């Protein structure tokens, strides 16, 4: 047993107390009993102090060992240079964190009496004014956007019904379910200068859930599946049309910029979740019709 450990100190203190107690029990006089009791109290207090000191020493030793094994104590300047050279993207994000921390704490908040500030609306103000002055052009763009939405839907259904792959369809189901929940939970006001059209799909010129953009997310889901299947030209076409769709939605104030940005992330996220679901459940389209649409193997 380590003589400096707290357990050893407690053992010695217990032995001393027991011995003194026996001495008092063998006919010692009253005054000596008081002296022994005082001595025991003094020793016990001193022992506690010694035990506390030993515990602090052990804690310091543990802290020293923790510091000696910590990763950052082994960093060198050449490591920093290699990180900057071979990992520029995380370094960029680290600098961006510092920059936007400064922006966050110095930028004044938009007053409650003012409309929301949207940088995408500022960048597409010219388009909003042009479409507002030309309603027929706005309707034409809305109709073309509806055709693109039909292309997304057709591709996802084709993949499921004809090719027998469920991942894009599962991703779309996950995505629209989550969009419905979030859109109903936080119902954002319709942006000012909104330009509706009866040619829009699926809601025409009525209000709808803004957060997040299902148009953009569906396009991303279809594009990612095209890349998995080596249909790169078709994927690039969908990406280009998606960019035009984003510009049009900003110009007509159909979505805030954050709706469109999160729509891109939602497409990537739910495509990944659909893939993980397929892997975990081993879901596949059955070849034999009498087995039903799906067959699962545990």
pLDDT digits (tens, 9 = 90+) for 44-75: 555 556 557 666 666 666 666 677 777 777 88
pTM of the model: 0.68
Instruction: Spot the catalytic one: 118, 200, 225, 259.
Output: 259
How far is residue 291's CA from residue 293's CA, in Å, rounded to a whole number?
Answer: 7
Q: Please confirm, yes or no, whether 28 is among the known catalytic residues.
A: no
What's the confidence (pLDDT) of residue 105?
A: 85
Domain coordinates in residue numbering, the chain: 6-73, 76-106, 120-296
Structure tokens at 296: 């699962």
List, for residues 82-116, the tens digit of each pLDDT value. 889 899 999 999 999 989 888 888 888 888 888 88
How far is residue 235's CA from residue 221's CA, in Å, rounded to a whole number?
Answer: 10
What's the confidence (pLDDT) of residue 37?
A: 47
Q: How confident is the model at residue 268 (pLDDT cuts 50, 70, 90)?
A: very high
State the chain's mean pLDDT as an integer.
79
What's the confidence (pLDDT) of residue 170?
A: 95
CA 88 to each of CA 82, 85, 92, 102: distance values in angstroms, whole numbers, following the listed order: 10, 6, 6, 21
Burial of 50 per CB tally in 10 Å (0-12, 13-18, 19+): middle
| DSSP-derived pairing of the beta strands 283-285 and 294-296 | antiparallel
What does the buried/exposed string (b/e) look like for 124-135 if buried means 16 or more CB atoms within 10 Å of the residue's CB? beebbeebeeee
Q: What Rg do the C-alpha atoms of the chain give, in angstroms?
A: 35
Q: Please confirm, yes or no, whether 259 is among the known catalytic residues.
A: yes
Top-ranked range on mean pLDDT: pick from 60-64, 76-80, 138-142: 138-142
How far is residue 204's CA from residue 254's CA, in Å, rounded to a whole number?
Answer: 11
Q: How confident is the model at residue 151 (pLDDT cuts 50, 70, 90)?
A: very high
Q: Please confirm, yes or no, whether 34 is among the known catalytic residues.
A: no
Instruction: Spot the catalytic one: 200, 215, 225, 271.
Output: 215
Instruction: Spot the catalytic one: 200, 225, 255, 271.
Output: 255
What's the confidence (pLDDT) of residue 116?
A: 85
* Residue 283 predicted with pLDDT over 90: no
């Amino acid at each position: 047993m380590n003589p400096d450990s707290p357990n050893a100190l407690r053992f010695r203190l217990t032995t001393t107390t027991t011995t003194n107690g026996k001495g008092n029990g063998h006919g010692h006089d009253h005054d000596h009993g008081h002296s022994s009791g005082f001595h025991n109290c003094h020793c016990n207090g001193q022992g506690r102090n010694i035990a506390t000191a030993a515990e602090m020493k052990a804690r310091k030793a543990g802290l020293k060992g923790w510091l000696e094994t910590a990763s950052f104590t082994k960093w060198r300047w050449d490591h920093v240079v290699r990180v900057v050279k071979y990992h520029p993207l995380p370094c960029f994000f680290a600098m961006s964190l510092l920059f936007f921390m400064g922006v966050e704490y110095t930028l004044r908040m938009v007053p409650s009496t003012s409309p929301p500030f949207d940088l995408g609306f500022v960048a597409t103000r010219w388009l909003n004014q042009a479409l507002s002055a030309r309603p027929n052009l706005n309707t034409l763009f809305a109709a073309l956007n509806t055709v693109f939405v039909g292309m997304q839907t057709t591709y996802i259904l084709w993949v499921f019904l004809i090719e027998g792959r469920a991942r894009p369809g599962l991703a779309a189901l996950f995505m629209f379910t989550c969009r419905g929940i979030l859109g109903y939970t936080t119902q954002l006001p319709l942006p000012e200068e909104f330009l509706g059209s009866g040619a829009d799909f699926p809601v025409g010129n009525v209000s709808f859930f803004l957060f997040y953009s299902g148009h953009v997310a569906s396009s991303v889901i279809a594009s990612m599946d095209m890349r998995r299947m080596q249909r790169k030209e078709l994927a690039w076409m969908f990406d280009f049309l998606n960019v035009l769709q984003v510009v049009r939605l900003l110009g007509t104030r159909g979505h805030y910029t954050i709706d469109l940005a999160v729509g891109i992330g939602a497409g990537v996220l739910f495509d990944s979740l659909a893939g993980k679901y397929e892997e975990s459940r081993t879901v596949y389209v059955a070849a034999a019709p009498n087995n039903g649409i799906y067959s699962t193997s545990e």
